[in-house]
Chain A
């Protein structure tokens, strides 16, 4: 019997092994890199992660793109520069005649409108839909109108009153469906012909051509319409949404005659297996396809950074974008000392900081000492950032005294911030009415579970300098995010990555109405300065206004405490040419050549 059991066991394993050997192996790609956290989505409208953007922007091409060395906007699917009206409110893009989809179709202006429209639709819209709704005439109004339909239907459904015979439903859906095109026509996008796209902006946007390179602004091929799921005779689903089969990003998906994912960038997706690998192959119709050296790119997903580093060391992988391992400080040292020239540090446009809760009371109802700007300033003065960055972080980050990283954005000089000064910090606390640190009561610092070391260092620093008692609350990231949004903290760790090359990507976060203002900071002066800068046409004056605004938040009011400007460590094999370390971590693979 035992023998039979063994035989059965072995037969089962043989069967699995047989299946296993059937998965065919393609030859090694021209260029291989690892994406440790994996692709979250390949739907450009739904993306939030840098790793996803990187794949998307190699598959698709927007109206503009970023130069791989300088990250300045340059031409892509449209000629550069586009026509711009004198008031800066109208852009006229001329799409290149040789812009082609990976199935040979010409790229048209309607493809862009399709992509942009999809990106703002409720139920699809994600983190970056605001790029469109904030800037394009009528987009926010359209979304608001759409949202009303969805909310009404959702309410009916949760009351259990949604069925086919329900009169209310019968009215709501067709009414919105009938108005759909009419309402969208009010959005400031025009397509006078196949190659012309006219965009009307709500307000001047000096960085608009930087935005149009972003994934949210990518075109979508018309074949996606084959995968639209909706009620019979209606463009909308029962929920009032515009929904496409989420499988549309697959190269081998063919329901309803769908050709599989069609893209317009230098590469097309030829294979994607979940959590294993994505293979990009050259788009033969791309205008400079013949000049591109790497015809195939493999993106491997290892769920483990250490394993990916070993794969890099053993030569299986040519490029790593993430080296976040416990021994990272050692790798940073090797990169800085030049012992490992293949390890490179990229000073990225990002800032790590602390949020102060500026509300008058904490969530628990206790009085909040941090509502007083002097207390916040005192804590900033008592923070020795040199020590934090050199002794605690050890990841190559640069000291941050301002919110916007210095030297990164052309024409902008960030505010200088405040220096470490314990005596002044103590004086300020006394001015605020606290003769000893203990009078501040119980101070809580909220950190994520992977920033505990930073939290401990800060707590010790403040305890030594101000005599306050600081308690650390470490949370796993999703719970942390929830507490941060509901402002259930006194101080909380924050980090911000620039979305575009302009100081407002940072500074907007602290305006009164901004959804990413976790501090509750609200200053009329600050909001007015930003509004004034927004309306300012002269770049120099605009930069000065923004810098004034920044000095409010890092020198006077201090709703945030900047700690460091991030540095990312990447690894490029010496035989790989055409990858340039840059502040946006933007790596277009069409310029890469590999000479092993």
Chain B
């Protein structure tokens, strides 16, 4: 088991190195000057001195020095926001995105799983159709629409919650719910499909034959197996919810990590591009390893295969 974990971790480090190299090449080769701002052109000498200051005058030294820093978890200065280091930016933005993302996934599980189970059990009947409609709405309406609608309704007209910003518990519910909508939809769909298959299995017939109440059959025996596809989806979904909530962050004006993904690239800020990509990749890899391990714990049949 430990050997397998070490193997997975090593593979993860190798993946990160490849991600780093590929991102580096893209970050330094896209046209655009990270030091220029606004309409004013920067004199070539001034740019040269700034490149020297940040050791960007030589791509190879920049590559190795940045990598050495990243291994020590020091991502160096942000060029566009020169008063801050990338570490400070990530430390300020990542917990924000994580909190919103985790809340969204939690909401998605709490709503999505029962929705899927009910859909499977009452297949092709009214509850299933209601569930399906919610799912289709959740998937097809983009979050910038639902987010803006929620913002307008609850914050501007009803004035129940503050508009945008960050700092109190009242800033949390709207973005978390908005972000959870597509995840609710996927989870409900996954649960329903997998539940339908599971309910036809032999062990379910056995459970029913033993005279177990239907409630126990479904929620204890069947769900345990039917949950597996949801679990494997949870890894990437959590990573995506925690780091990819850019649109929701934008709509609600939340100081999360999502905006830096986009802005770092728009600003041609190589330090911040690399830092955000590496953090996101590391999280994605780590969550996938965790999910694979959990898989074995939840379903003994898979233990051997991890």
In the assembled complex, the Cα of A308 lies from the Cα of B156 at a distance in Å of: 12
Q: Which of A1-33 contact B (CB under 8 A)?
A: 1-2, 5-6, 9-10, 12-13, 16-17, 19-21, 23, 25
Per-position binary interface string of chain B over residues 41-56, scored 1 when its CB falls under 8 Å from any chain A CB and 0 otherwise? 1110110111111010
Answer yes or no: B207 CB below 8 A from chain A CBs.
Answer: no
Contact partner of A481 among B33, B45, B81, CB < 8 A? B33
Answer yes or no: B3 CB below 8 A from chain A CBs.
Answer: no
Stretch at the interface among B9-17, B134-142, B165-173, B191-199: B165-173
With a CB–CB cut-off of 8 A, which chain B residues contact A482?
A: 31-33
Q: Are A303 and B250 in contact (CB under 8 A)?
A: yes
Answer yes or no: A594 CB below 8 A from chain B CBs.
Answer: no
Answer yes or no: A125 CB below 8 A from chain B CBs.
Answer: yes
Q: Are B169 and A43 in contact (CB under 8 A)?
A: no
Q: Which residue of B lies closest to A12 (CB)?
A: B102
In the assembled complex, the Cα of A306 lies from the Cα of B81 at a distance in Å of: 23
Answer yes or no: A538 CB below 8 A from chain B CBs.
Answer: no
Contact partner of A153 among B52, B83, B250, CB < 8 A? B52
Taking A303-B250, A304-B250 as contacts, is the C-beta distance between A274 and B148 under 8 angstroms? no
Answer yes or no: A154 CB below 8 A from chain B CBs.
Answer: yes
In the assembled complex, the Cα of A302 lies from the Cα of B167 at a distance in Å of: 13
Q: Are A40 and B294 in contact (CB under 8 A)?
A: no
> Most B CB atoms within 10 A — which of A147, A150, A151, A274?
A274
Contact partner of A2 among B84, B224, B267, CB < 8 A? B224
Q: Are B32 and A479 in contact (CB under 8 A)?
A: yes
Answer yes or no: B200 CB below 8 A from chain A CBs.
Answer: no
Q: Are A274 and B169 in contact (CB under 8 A)?
A: no
Taking A274-B92, A314-B159, A478-B267 as contacts, is the C-beta distance between A516 and B32 under 8 angstroms? no
In the assembled complex, the Cα of A479 lies from the Cα of B32 at a distance in Å of: 5
Answer yes or no: A195 CB below 8 A from chain B CBs.
Answer: no
Q: Are A301 and B255 in contact (CB under 8 A)?
A: yes
With a CB–CB cut-off of 8 A, which chain B residues contact A9?
A: 102, 105-106, 109
Number of interface residues of A (CB under 8 A): 77
Taking A314-B156, A476-B266, A496-B39 as contacts, is the C-beta distance between A2 and B99 under 8 angstroms? no
Q: Are B61 and A311 in contact (CB under 8 A)?
A: no
Q: Which of A487-515 contact B (CB under 8 A)?
A: 494-497, 515
With a CB–CB cut-off of 8 A, which chain A residues contact B53?
A: 123, 239, 241, 243
With a CB–CB cut-off of 8 A, which chain B residues contact A485?
A: 41
Q: Which residue of B lies closest to A313 (CB)?
A: B156
Answer yes or no: A158 CB below 8 A from chain B CBs.
Answer: yes
Answer yes or no: A49 CB below 8 A from chain B CBs.
Answer: yes
Taking A2-B227, A310-B151 as contacts, is the C-beta distance between A129 and B49 under 8 angstroms? no
Q: Which residue of B lies closest to A157 (CB)?
A: B58
Stretch at the interface among A170-178, A207-215, A244-252, A454-462: A244-252
Q: Are B80 and A40 in contact (CB under 8 A)?
A: yes
In the assembled complex, the Cα of A12 lies from the Cα of B290 at a distance in Å of: 15
Answer yes or no: A592 CB below 8 A from chain B CBs.
Answer: no
In the assembled complex, the Cα of A315 lies from the Cα of B166 at a distance in Å of: 16
Contact partner of A25 among B92, B99, B168, CB < 8 A? B168
Q: Are B83 and A42 in contact (CB under 8 A)?
A: yes
In the assembled complex, the Cα of A455 lies from the Cα of B155 at a distance in Å of: 38
Q: Are B33 and A302 in contact (CB under 8 A)?
A: no
With a CB–CB cut-off of 8 A, which chain A residues contact B40?
A: 48, 127, 516
Answer yes or no: A307 CB below 8 A from chain B CBs.
Answer: yes
Answer yes or no: B214 CB below 8 A from chain A CBs.
Answer: no
Answer yes or no: A346 CB below 8 A from chain B CBs.
Answer: no
With a CB–CB cut-off of 8 A, which chain A residues contact B98?
A: 16
Answer yes or no: A300 CB below 8 A from chain B CBs.
Answer: yes
Taking A273-B92, A302-B165, A310-B156 as contacts, is the C-beta distance between A13 and B103 under 8 angstroms? yes
In the assembled complex, the Cα of A526 lies from the Cα of B212 at a distance in Å of: 95
Taking A20-B169, A304-B253 as contacts, is the C-beta distance between A43 and B49 under 8 angstroms? no
Answer yes or no: A386 CB below 8 A from chain B CBs.
Answer: no
Q: Which residue of A lies closest to B32 (CB)?
A: A478
Q: Which residue of A lies closest to B223 (CB)?
A: A2
Answer yes or no: B206 CB below 8 A from chain A CBs.
Answer: no
Q: Are A303 and B259 in contact (CB under 8 A)?
A: yes
Q: Are A48 and B37 in contact (CB under 8 A)?
A: yes
Per-position binary interface string of chain B over residues 75-100, scored 1 when its CB falls under 8 Å from any chain A CB and 0 otherwise? 00100111111001100110100110
With a CB–CB cut-off of 8 A, which chain B residues contact A321?
A: none
Answer yes or no: B268 CB below 8 A from chain A CBs.
Answer: yes
In the assembled complex, the Cα of A247 lies from the Cα of B83 at a distance in Å of: 6
Q: Are B166 and A276 in contact (CB under 8 A)?
A: yes
Q: Are B49 and A123 in contact (CB under 8 A)?
A: yes
What's the minimum C-beta distance from A368 to chain B, rounded to whole angstroms? Answer: 21
In the assembled complex, the Cα of A136 lies from the Cα of B56 at a distance in Å of: 31
In the assembled complex, the Cα of A207 lies from the Cα of B159 at a distance in Å of: 50
Contact partner of A307 among B99, B164, B297, CB < 8 A? B164
Q: Are B163 and A316 in contact (CB under 8 A)?
A: yes
Taking A122-B49, A154-B57, A515-B41 as contacts, is the C-beta distance between A310 and B152 under 8 angstroms? yes
Q: Are A21 and B250 in contact (CB under 8 A)?
A: no
> Most A CB atoms within 10 A — which of B33, B36, B40, B61?
B40
Answer yes or no: A205 CB below 8 A from chain B CBs.
Answer: no
Answer yes or no: A275 CB below 8 A from chain B CBs.
Answer: yes
With a CB–CB cut-off of 8 A, which chain A residues contact B114?
A: none
Contact partner of B253 among A40, A125, A150, A302, CB < 8 A? A302
Answer yes or no: A226 CB below 8 A from chain B CBs.
Answer: no
A-B contact pairs, 6 of them (CB 8 A): A41-B83, A154-B51, A276-B166, A311-B165, A314-B155, A478-B36
By a beta-carbon cutoff of 8 Å, the part of chain B in contact with chain A is: 30-33, 35-43, 45-46, 48-53, 55, 57-58, 61, 77, 80-85, 88-89, 92-93, 95, 98-99, 102-103, 105-106, 109, 148, 151-152, 155-156, 159, 162-169, 223-224, 227, 249-253, 255, 259, 266-268, 294, 297-298
Q: Told that A310-B151, A311-B253 touch, could you supply 12 new A-B pairs with CB distance under 8 A?
A: A1-B297, A1-B298, A10-B106, A40-B82, A129-B46, A239-B52, A241-B52, A246-B83, A276-B255, A306-B148, A476-B266, A516-B41
